[in-house]
Amino acid sequence: MGEVRLTSVETDRKTDRTAGGAPNGRKETGGDAGKAGGGRETGGESPRSRRAAAFAVWYLRAVTFVNFLSAVWVSLGQDLRSHNTGDFYTPYLLAPGFAPGLFSLLLAVTMRRRKRAAWVLNTVLSGMTLAVFVYAFSNPDYPEMREHAQNWVSLGMTAAFVGALLLGRRAFYAKGDRSNPALATAVASIGLLVTSLTAALLVGASNIDPNRAEATFLARWRYGVMRLITLAPDEKISSAITTPGWVDVFINVMSTLLLIAVLFAAFRSRRAVDPLTEDDEDRLRALLAKQGDRDSLGYFALRREKSVIWSPTGKAAVTYRVVGGVSLASGDPIGDPEAWPGAIEPWLAEAREHGWVPAVMGASEEAGQIYARHGLDALELGDEAIVETAEFTLEGRAMRTVRQAYNRVKRAGYTVRIRRHADIPSEEMDVLLKRADDWRDGATERGFSMALGRLGDPGDGQCVMLECTDGKGDLRAVLSFVPWGPKGLSLDLMRRDRNSENGLMEFMVIELLERAKEIGVTQVSLNFAMFRSVFERGSKLGAGPVLRMWRSLLSFFSRWWQIESLYRANAKYRPIWEPRFMLFEKSSDLLRIGIAAGRAEGFLEAPGLPKWMHRRHLESKR
């Protein structure tokens, strides 16, 4: 979006940034909003600290590159390996191969995220390495150490890295989860036990030494342990054991995977924060009652697995969810736009404090401009389809196909009933909930930025339900809309019987648009069309080759993800297209943000954990 200037009133913003005595509630910063954003990041972190931290990160990246390159480029790898023998020393972490490369890469990534635990580990290890250098150089028993130029270079590089860590210590402020030390210890202990026993079994099954009868289980187990933590066990341990090369390689691979698992456990970010409380929800509803008509996605801030950060005056809030180390907000901040900066600043400060990547999905252009003032860049995701009910009509040649499909379903005997959720008796709501659950496509409830994630909750009485029945009176489809201010609706849920008439959803939407006066609705937000402008401009005469290629690629992926079909389905109603943006700090984080968004929306599932262990599943039982 480039550099953006805002012309809003700064007086209220300054008040919201500095005012104390915020209303009671969690995640409020009061007078500390500025301190949270500038304590470690700007106040305690000097330019010298930032430069030193950047040098440390780039050092680890360079070491990673050399390690990986040496593993691929045999000649370079042989030269570097020779430095680890005899009187040749190598700089800190320079140990050619894929395993050392992965180790240094993980440290580089965590250091870039300003993890305090990574700084501690690097400082300890590099300090010990430097101590060994200094001892060897000062010991008269090793005069040859000072004779080789490489040793002097290695000493200088290691000393520079240690110095950079000490100078840049204030730049590494990101906290990890409090359970990380215990988890890393458990992963290391259990992992070492499991891998060592596996190694012992492999050694016993593949031992080709003629004296294999003398190799007891204890000897095989000791061999496996030593192979896991070293490249070659001593002769005393391996005297009666001779294994094929692939066994040793397999054991070393297990060792590498175990090391990576321990590092992930030690450096993982705090996974989540407190979800919304009843007080938070009440206050958010109060803000939506005053400012809810500004953003059609505002009501989705009430998803209960989200967390909230308030501005000091309580006039604005940012709701978000932490997924895979990404603090993912959606839509615009809630409340008065003049107070948005007072909520955005502490949200960004909290993300930095915990090493989370800040990102926003589905922000409007107005919110994007304000977020841009806080260092976030924007990428247009697509457009939201908004229909003004007073302007909608089925008349005219352009609506001929839609009109024919609508009349066909109507002649088949389908009818639609429109009610507020509060007007539906509990017995009837239970039936609707059961049928909607039966019609759900897959076990995962999808949605985050444009879905409420619940149906029939007593607190959502102003939501609107559309029930479609066939000629026999059987329920065949339901649509649910959340409030968008006092006179708008935003699509939340669509479910239908797979054996029902084609075009049933379009029939129900048209019924809503034509009967909107019954419930006092003047505007309706429908589905979000990702990359809508690409499909529209790419199909026009004179579209450039890059745009046509991009459109063809998206059309290909639409076979699985319904990218183009959503655009076509919304375009039938001739809506107003409102652009929506993804906001991010660094382009290098886009892949991580995309994965986190996919997980939040339910399109990607985190592997390895049973459903009952997922935090989201536990929170849904509130």
**Tens of pLDDT along 86-120?**
556 788 888 777 778 888 888 998 898 888 888 99
**Per-residue model confidence (pLDDT) at position 70:** 77
Neighbours of 459 (CB within 10 A): 14
The whole-number average pLDDT for the span 48-52 is 89
3-state secondary structure labels for all residues of 96-143: CCHHHHHHHHHHHHHHHCCEHHHHHHHHHHHHHHHHHHHHHHHCCCCH
**Per-residue model confidence (pLDDT) at position 344:** 96
**Per-residue model confidence (pLDDT) at position 448:** 66
**Tens of pLDDT along 327-337?**
999 899 999 99
Structure tokens belonging to residue 227? 């192979």
The whole-number average pLDDT for the span 188-197 is 88
**Per-residue model confidence (pLDDT) at position 84:** 46
Q: Alpha helix locations (H) across 358-412?
A: 365-372, 400-411
Q: How confident is the model at residue 620 (pLDDT cuts 50, 70, 90)?
A: very low
Enter the pTM of the model.
0.73
Question: Is pLDDT above 90 for 273?
Answer: no
Question: What CATH number labels 384-577?
Answer: 3.40.630.30
The whole-number average pLDDT for the span 557-563 is 65
Q: Which of 155-169, 213-227, 466-480 has the lowest mean pLDDT?
A: 213-227
Q: How many residues would you count in the chain?
A: 622
Q: Which of 617, 524, 508 is nearest to 578 (CA)?
A: 524
Question: Is pLDDT above 80 for 575?
Answer: yes
**Tens of pLDDT along 299-317?**
999 998 899 999 999 999 9
Q: Cα–chain-centroid distance for residue 550? A: 25
Question: Is pLDDT above 50 for 82?
Answer: no
User: What does the mean pLDDT of the chain come to?
Assistant: 79
**Per-residue model confidence (pLDDT) at position 210:** 55
Are 70 and 96 contacting, i.e. CB atoms less than 8 angstroms apart?
Answer: yes
**Per-residue model confidence (pLDDT) at position 115:** 86
Q: Cα–chain-centroid distance for residue 182? A: 24
The whole-number average pLDDT for the span 443-459 is 75
The DSSP element (H or E) to which 600 belongs, if any, is: helix 590-601
Three-state SS for 529? strand
**Per-residue model confidence (pLDDT) at position 539:** 65
The whole-number average pLDDT for the span 487-500 is 90
